[in-house]
Amino acid sequence: MNIALVGYGKMGRIVERAAKERGHRITAVIDPFVPDPPESLCLYKTVAEAQTLADADVAVEFSRPEAAADNIKALAALRVPVVSGTTGWYGRMDEVAGAVKAADSSLLWAPNFSLGVNIFYRIAFNAASLMDPFDEYDAGGFEAHHNKKADSPSGTAKTLAEGIIKRIRRKTKPVYETLARPPAPDEFHFPSLRLGAMPGTHAVIFDSPPDTIEIRHTARGREGFASGALAAAHWLVNCPGPGQAAGKARRGIFTMDDVLDELGVK
């Protein structure tokens, strides 16, 4: 695949490395704030300026919350399929989805591209459905991240907690704060821990008097986001595998759920 990178920060650079390892080409990099770029980089400040964008089969967008919606709209107008991992712009989703559809272009977005996390969601949701009839099991969990993480709870924690309370009737609301009181029986307690260099960890726990069932996902680094974003790009532009050429892109708005559904992950 020929890939344009939109946003060349921590994620953009990891995607670049992972894409090159898999035999893909980076044909353009769009980022207005790269200090001292290497000469080999086809770097542009905006999507509109990027002359080599026409060569790209897909754009992988990890930029800033305030930039993502306009980037995706500009890419859609040029009919470049977009895989977007930027978070914090979803208040403009309707406008962006409208622009992508009007241009008959393609967008696959996900707040977390890690394949492991997306599979973990399904494991946790299936587990919640299994535990629904067993009132003796309380349910809750926690998430832990390094002490530089800006937001709390993590977006992944919210997705997990909201998905689980839909499936366990005795739980009706997620509570993310540390509690100075016992949680109410219908509260799904899912607090956050910020500590040192902890890798992103999400644990879901079902606890009864005689035993505990715990399921946990631990990320070892950011590479899982990059490989998931590249897997999503393969899927979006029908690329048969690493290093191979893209086919005809799927048109419309997609998420990682569509990718997992097609892979048969139930």
Ligand X SMILES: NC(=O)c1ccc[n+]([C@@H]2O[C@H](COP(=O)([O-])OP(=O)(O)OC[C@H]3O[C@@H](n4cnc5c(N)ncnc54)[C@H](O)[C@@H]3O)[C@@H](O)[C@H]2O)c1
For residue 117, the minimal CB distance to ligand X (Å) is: 8
Size of the site for ligand X (CB under 6 A): 26
- Return the DSSP state at 209: S
- Binding flag, residue 153, ligand X (CB under 6 A): no
State yes or no: is 234 an active-site residue.
no
State yes or no: is 149 an active-site residue.
yes
Q: What is the distance between the alpha carbons of residues 111 and 121, in angstroms, rounded to a whole number? A: 13
Catalytic residue among 73, 145, 171, 189, which?
A: 145
For ligand X, which residue of 4, 44, 59, 111 counts as binding (CB under 6 A)?
Answer: 111
For ligand X, which residue of 3, 27, 44, 71 counts as binding (CB under 6 A)?
Answer: 71
For ligand X, which residue of 1, 8, 231, 233 counts as binding (CB under 6 A)?
Answer: 8
For residue 78, the minimal CB distance to ligand X (Å) is: 15
For ligand X, which residue of 27, 86, 106, 154 counts as binding (CB under 6 A)?
Answer: 86
First vs last Cα of the chain: how many Å apart? Answer: 29
Catalytic residue among 10, 20, 45, 149, which?
A: 149
Residue 30 bridge partners (DSSP): 6, 44
What is the distance, to the nearest Å, from the Cα of residue 104 to the centroid of all Cα atoms in its chain?
Answer: 23
For ligand X, which residue of 17, 23, 25, 32 counts as binding (CB under 6 A)?
Answer: 32
Helices 223-236/256-263 angle, 10° precision: 70
- Binding flag, residue 64, ligand X (CB under 6 A): yes
For ligand X, which residue of 105, 112, 118, 154 counts as binding (CB under 6 A)?
Answer: 112
Residue 252 bridge partners (DSSP): 106
- Binding flag, residue 199, ligand X (CB under 6 A): no
For residue 152, the minimal CB distance to ligand X (Å) is: 13
Which part of the chain contacts ligand X (CB under 6 A), choosing from 26-34, 162-170, 180-188, 191-199? 26-34
Pairing of strands 25-30, 43-44: parallel
- Binding flag, residue 10, ligand X (CB under 6 A): yes
Listed in sequence order, the residues at least 6 apart from 168 whose beta carbon sits closer than 8 Å to its beta carbon are 128, 131, 132, 139, 188
Extract the runs of DSSP E, i.e. beta strands, from the chain: 2-6, 25-30, 43-44, 58-61, 82-84, 106-109, 138-145, 173-175, 187-189, 192-194, 201-207, 212-218, 252-254
Radius of gyration of the chain (CA): 20
Residues marked active site are found at: 145, 149
Which residues are near ligand X by CB under 6 A? Answer: 6-12, 30-33, 62-65, 67, 71, 85-88, 110-113, 225
